[in-house]
Amino acid sequence: MQKHNFSAGPCILPQSVFRKAADALIDYNGIGLSIIEISHRSKEFVEVMERARSLAISHLGLEGKGYKALFLQGGASMQFLMVAYNLLQDKAGYLNTGTWSTKAIKEAKLFGDLVEVASSKDQNFNYIPKGYEIPSGLDYLHLTSNNTIFGTQIKDLPQTDASLVCDMSSDIFSREMDFSKFDLIYAGAQKNMGPAGTTLVVVKEDILGKVSRTIPSMLDYQVHLGKDSMFNTPAVFAVYTSMLTLEWLEQQGGVSAVEKINNDKAALLYGEIDRNPLFKGFVADAADRSTMNATFTINDDAQADRFNALWQEAGINGLNGHRSVGGYRASMYNALPLSSVQVLVDVMQEFERTA
Ligand SMILES: *Cc1c(COP(=O)(O)O)cnc(C)c1O
C-alpha cells in the first residue's frame, strides 16, 4: 500500500516523477542508455541541465532580471559557507530563526563580522522575530524563509536596503513572492524539488566579484556560472529528477496553483490542531505558522502510544517531530495531496472520539 508520506526531507515527490525517473535509469528517452551512464557533456544531459536551470528561473518569475541558476553539490550546508566566501567583505546580518540559521551563522563567522539582527532562540524558535533594527552598511542580510524543524515561516520580508540572501530549502516553489527582492536564493533539492544530492542556487550575477579574497574554484559562484553549472560533473540523476519535478510543477499550473493547494492543506490541518482539545500547536503566533511543516504536540503524553498506533495503521509515514521540538511534524510539501492531509485529520478526530 502506498503511504501518506509526511516526511520532512528527503520527502515525497510526485508519483509521476518517480516513474519517469525510474524509466530513465534503465533507458533514457529510448536511446538505449541510462541517464546515469551517459556523459554529462552529452547533448542529452546538457539539455536536461539547461531545462532545469531555465525552469527554476521561470517558476520564480526571474526571467530577464539578471539572475542565473546553478545546480551545485554539498547540500544547503555548503551554501552556508559559500555565501559568506563570495559575498562577505566586512559585515553581514543574520536573522536567527532556528537550527539551520544557527548553522549558517557559525560558518559565516569564519569569513567576517556578523550581526545577529534578531533571534527567536529565547522561545525555542517558536516564532519569527519582528520589528527589529537592521544596521545599515551590511554586505547582505541572510534569512531562512521556512524553518523546517520548528515549523515557522517568514510571511513578510524585513524592510532593508541590504542585499537579501535566503535559505529557501524547505519552501522553494511553494508560494508566490516577489523573488527579485532577493539577490541570492539557495535550496537543497530534497525538500520540495528532487532527491538529495544537488542544491539549487539562484543568484543575481552583478552582486558577484566584489570581495577581495581569493576563492577556491569549487566554491566560487562565478566559476560555476562561467561553466554553465558544469565546472565539474554535476549530480546528474538528482538534476534530472529535479527537472522532472519542475516540469510537473508547470503542468500543475505553476507556483500560484500549488500555493492555493498548499494553503488549503495547511488550513485543514491547523484547523484541526486548533479545534481538537487533545492537541496543541507548537508555533506561538498563527501568522508565523509554516504552510510546509506543521508542528504540534499531544497534550497528554500518556496517550502518545495510542495516537502513534492510529496514524501508523492509517498508512501515515514520517510524522515524528524533530528531537529538538518533540511531538509531531506534518510536512506538506507540494507533492503531498490534500487527501493525505484529510487522512491525518480523520485519524486525529478518531483519536479524540475514542479517548
Ligand atoms: C534541510 C535543510 C538544510 C540542510 O540541507 P542539506 O542539504 O542537508 O545541507 C538547510 N536549511 C534548511 C532550511 C533545511 O530545511
264-288 pLDDT tens trace: 999 999 999 999 999 999 998 999 9
- In this predicted structure, the answer to whether residue 347 has a pLDDT above a threshold of 90 is yes
Every domain of the chain with CATH number 3.90.1150.10 lies at 254-353
Rounded Cα distance, 179 and 63, in Å: 11
pLDDT of residue 287: 97
Residue 167 is among the residues annotated as catalytic for this protein: yes
Q: What is the pTM of this model?
A: 0.98
Catalytic residue among 20, 68, 139, 167: 167
- Model confidence pLDDT, tens digit, residues 29-65: 999 999 999 999 999 999 999 999 999 999 999 999 9
> 9 CA distance to ligand 1 centroid (A)?
9
The residue whose CA has the least distance to atom 13 of ligand 1 is 169
Banded model confidence at residue 141, pLDDT cuts 50, 70, 90: very high
Which residues, in sequence order, are bridge partners of residue 67?
Answer: 204
Closest ligand 1 atom, CA of 79?
A: 9
Contacting residues for 146 by C-beta, under 8 A, at least 6 apart: 152, 153, 154, 168, 169, 170, 171, 174, 290, 292, 293
What stretch(es) of the chain map to CATH 3.40.640.10?
15-252
Distance between CA atoms of residues 106 and 86, nearest Å: 16
Catalytic residue selected from 20, 68, 100, 288: 100
Ligand 1 pocket, mutate which of 77, 83, 145, 169 (most atoms under 8 A from CB)? 169
**Overall fold of domain 254-353:** Aspartate Aminotransferase, domain 1 (3.90.1150)
* pLDDT computed for residue 346 by the predictor: 98
Closest to 56 in 3D by CA, of 186, 145, 159, 158: 186
Residues with CB under 6 A from ligand 1: 9, 75-77, 100, 144, 148, 167, 169-170, 188, 191
- What DSSP state is assigned to residue 295? E
pLDDT at 116 over 90: yes
DSSP-assigned beta bridge partners for residue 201: 70, 186
* CATH class of the structural domain 15-252: alpha beta
Q: What is the pLDDT of residue 1?
A: 83
Mean pLDDT for 249-257 is 98
Torsion of CA 40, 42, 45, 51, to 10 degrees: 120
The rounded Å distance from CA 76 to ligand 1 centre is 5
Burial (0-12, 13-18, 19+ Cβ within 10 Å), 314: middle
The reply to whether 191 belongs to the active site is yes
Ligand 1 center to 59 CA (angstroms) = 21
User: Catalytic residue at 27?
Assistant: no
| 3-class SS string, 48-113 | HHHHHHHHHHHHCCCCCCCEEEEEECCHHHHHHHHHHHHHCCCEEEEEECCHHHHHHHHHHCCCCE
When the pLDDT of each residue in the chain is averaged and rounded to a whole number, the result is 97
Determine the average pLDDT of the residues in 2-17.
97
- The answer to whether residues 197 and 234 touch, using CB atoms and an 8 Å cutoff, is no
Catalytic, out of 191, 220, 248, 311? 191
Q: Quote the percentage of the chain above a pLDDT of 90.
A: 99
